[in-house]
Structure 1
Amino acid sequence: MRRILLLMCLAVAGMLQGCVHATAPTEFQAVASQPYALGAGDRVRVIVFGQDSLSNSFSVDSSGHIAMPLIGLVPAAGRSPAQLATEIEGRLRAGYVREPRVSVEIEAYRPFFVLGEVTTSGQYPYVNGMTVETAVAIAGGYTPRASRDHAELTRTQDGRTVTADVPMAQPVRPGDTIMVRERFF
């Protein structure tokens, strides 16, 4: 009798678990307020005012650098565009340009990925202001078996990978991987 009661309690607890709403972990909430950090796959436009030959578009390579004329490899990964501009100004000031003024803007973000129970899994270009729900829409929507109230989001930040169940309204960042799981019922 006790076994049956225990099994029934476990079954009810399992069903109620699906009713719990996913909330974003504090690591994901803190990142939303921070400036964007460049990473491999981003494309930036560097403008050196008065030096058209130094102004161009550059891709952040897999080692996290951009290769600029005169100053060579400049570390970009983990820096904001403003921090990168300051670094480039400092390097140019050291013997190449008298009073450099540099502007860095993001030309193209690195892609994000959608996997699991969506119509078309794959890699997609990032668009500012995206949520998990809009990312699923870009991937063609849900399959009939998809869980539609939350998804698993994987993000690399500060050199470590964090994975958590998040609500569909969770903001997406470039490089994120979204996994839409199969529902139980």
Structure 2
Amino acid sequence: MVRLRIVFVAVLLIAMIASALPLRARDDARPYRLVPGDRIGVTVYGHEDLSGEFRLDRSGSVSLPLAGRVALDGETLRGAEAAIVRALRPDYLRSPRVTVQVLGHRPIYVLGEVEQPGRYPYERGLTVMGAIALAGGYTEHADRTAVSVLRARGSSRRGKPADEEDAVGPGDIVRVPERDLF
């Protein structure tokens, strides 16, 4: 009976801690969606001539051997695999097996009142604070309370105020404005 209570209390504590985590810390758990500029690897098993590296063009499509143009903008990796299978079947292959992986994410941009504004490689798990650190940190004129992120989701951009713990995704733009001096 004592063991059962201990297990129950442990499970309850774990559930409480998990629910207390801010949502932004869990943003990275969402499935990645492909957007223009991503570099992907496509493997069609048993057909090396149909496999290779491809970059999504401005419209979010790739041109694949036999399949032609396949729209992948906004698709998850599993969705991209299914779209490629549909493009290859039934005219070219009876039951194609396809895998898609991201080979290169778009960079992030850190602009405004940071020591070294510019373009930086995306790293999984990157936060606003991490992006600002990549750019050398805040300048003395930075307004740390008004940082915003322009999110690159699909082919559209949405800006929103950001906390330092918020996740940064591929293609996002972190803006650090100048504080009012008067």
User: Relative to 1, partners in 2 of residues 1:109 and 1:90: Cα closer, same or farther, differing over 3 Å?
Assistant: same
1:181 counterpart = 2:180: no
2:168 aligns to what SS in structure 1?
coil
Q: Where in structure 1 do 4 or more consecutive aligned residues deviate above 2 Å?
A: 28-34, 147-150, 156-162, 182-185
Query: Whole-Å Cα distance in 2 between the matches of residues 106 and 158 of structure 1?
Result: 15
User: Relative to 1, partners in 2 of residues 1:168 and 1:30: Cα closer, same or farther, differing over 3 Å?
Assistant: closer
Deviations 1:31-54 (A, max 9, x none): 655321111110000011111111
1:71 counterpart = 2:30: no
Deviations 1:134-181 (A, max 9, x none): 111111222122233551111143665322211101000111111012
Displacement of 1:129: 0.4
Contact 1:149 1:168 in 2 (8 A): no
1:172 counterpart = 2:168: yes
1:129 match: 125
2:49 aligns to what SS in structure 1?
coil
2:99 match: 103
Query: Whole-Å Cα distance in 1 between the matches of residues 116 and 90 of structure 2?
Result: 50
1:23 match: none
1:10 match: none
Contact 1:45 1:56 in 2 (8 A): yes
1:44 counterpart = 2:40: yes
1:7 match: none
Identity between Structure 1 and Structure 2 (%) = 38
Deviations 1:63-95 (A, max 9, x none): 110110111110011111110101111121222
Residue of 138, 141, 160 corresponding to 1:145: 141
- Which is worse superposed, 137-146 or 66-75? 137-146
Amino acid at match of 1:96: Y
Quote the RMSD (CA, aligned, Å).
2.2
Query: Whole-Å Cα distance in 2 between the matches of residues 87 and 139 of structure 1?
Result: 38
2:58 match: 62
Contact 2:28 2:125 in 1 (8 A): no
Question: Across the two proteins, how many residue pairs are aligned to each other?
Answer: 159
Contact 1:117 1:145 in 2 (8 A): yes
What are the ranges of 5 or more consecutive residues in structure 2 without an aligned counterpart? Answer: 1-22
Contact 2:148 2:162 in 1 (8 A): yes
User: Relative to 1, partners in 2 of residues 1:30 and 1:79: Cα closer, same or farther, differing over 3 Å?
Assistant: farther
Query: Whole-Å Cα distance in 2 between the matches of residues 106 and 38 of structure 1?
Result: 8
1:6 match: none
1:91 aligns to what SS in structure 2?
helix
1:93 match: 89
Displacement of 1:121: 1.1
